[in-house]
Amino acid sequence: MRREWKSPFLTMLNISECGKGYSGWNWRIEKKKTVKEIKDQLSVSEKLYQEFIKKVRFNPLIDSSYIDKCYPECKKR
């Protein structure tokens, strides 16, 4: 069964409204996630990915997860 990707937005973003809160962001309610939900999803994904990597090869650069611990402020680190 193939699932098609669906944009998280109902309409194209209105760039002229950027910087005015969320007025230009027409989210699909079912697609909008909280920071906690995203962190939880990242944590699960990283753990699954780590298990996969351990089975196929070792890479020290991706041997430990961290994105779920810093999101959404990873760039500040």
Walk along the chain (77 residues) in steps of 10 and give the mean pLDDT of each run.
Answer: 83 77 79 90 89 66 61 69
Structure tokens at 37: 């939900």
* The pLDDT of residue 37: 93
Question: Quick check: pTM over 0.85?
Answer: no
Contacts by 3-11, CB closer than 8 A, 24 or more apart: 6/31, 7/31, 8/32
How many Å apart are CA 9 and CA 27, to the nearest integer? 4
Residues 17, 26 contacting (CB under 8 angstroms) = no
Within the chain, what is the greatest distance between any pair of CA atoms?
Answer: 48
